[in-house]
Amino acid sequence: MQAKDIMTRTVGTVRPDTKIAEVAARMVADRISGLPVVDDDGRLMGIVTEGDLLRRFETGTEKPHSGWLDLLLGPGRLADDYVRSHSRTVRDVMTETVVTVTEDTPLADIVKLIERRHIKRVPVVRGDALVGLVSRADIVRLLAETLKKEQPPQNVSDTAIETALVAELTQAKWANSHNVTVAVRDGVVTLDGVIFNEAIRPALRVAAENTPGCKAVEDHMAWVEPVTGTALGA
């Protein structure tokens, strides 16, 4: 799946000369946290987000400066902070360096980008032109639609469930599958054996629950403390 398959195509935008008051009002009314900034030809120039509006003199949240810090930062940095906290137009507060993707960017790469940059949305561009936006909300919407389409499997045999689960655990690097036995009866999966890390227990349960045909999971596994070899739980 690529950006073009999930992106929001009708994107609200603002111009560089848009007033901060209008931006703030739109964010509140539309329940959005950011707006791309484009020129008259639709070329992406930047983005203005809630983060760009946090340090404002109107709310008493502009960056505080002490005497020694003023000397350290110098007049240029102080002047820049003043502009960002006092300007009334988007061009002075927007983030100009924007992370973008193209329509053909794989969704997995977009998620990686969102996580690495700690951002909520990624503009989609064709050349310099803004053609869409992929946000966290778009990805969650895709998940909801995918889960809604899932249909519970019918008439899956116990043997098929066991075979599928064993195959899943065999290829999972975390599973230590040689220490765990799987048995299935009437769709109920029983997990037995030994684990040496409690974090593996819920992972094994989830793997079983996701196996087509599984109706329930019974956990009979014992946890053995790896240093002393003492069985601490089952």
pTM, two decimal places: 0.79
The residue out of 113, 147, 181 marking a domain boundary is 147
- Amino acid type, 102: T
| Backbone phi and psi for residue 22, each to the nearest 5 degrees, phi listed first | -70, -40
Q: Are 38 and 61 in contact (CB under 8 A)?
A: no
| Backbone phi and psi for residue 171, each to the nearest 5 degrees, phi listed first | -90, -10
Residue 101: name the closest of 118, 119, 126 by CA.
126
- CATH number of residue 176's parent domain: 3.30.1340.30
The CA dihedral of 51, 89, 78, 95, to the nearest 10 degrees, is 40
Residue-range definition of the domain harbouring residue 167: 158-233
- CATH number of residue 129's parent domain: 3.10.580.10
Residue 106: DSSP 8-state:
B
The residue out of 116, 147, 178 marking a domain boundary is 147
Q: Are residues 42 and 22 in the same domain?
A: yes
Q: Are residues 30 and 130 in the same domain?
A: yes
Taking the CB of residue 223, how many other CB atoms lie within 10 A of it?
Answer: 17
Residue 37: name the closest of 84, 80, 90, 88 by CA.
90
Number of domains in the chain: 2
pLDDT tens, the chain, 234 aa long:
999 999 999 999 999 999 999 999 999 999 999 999 999 999 999 999 999 999 999 999 988 776 666 666 677 888 888 999 999 999 999 999 999 999 999 999 999 999 999 999 999 999 999 999 999 999 999 999 999 988 888 889 999 999 999 999 999 999 888 889 999 999 999 999 999 889 999 999 999 999 999 999 999 999 887 766 666 655
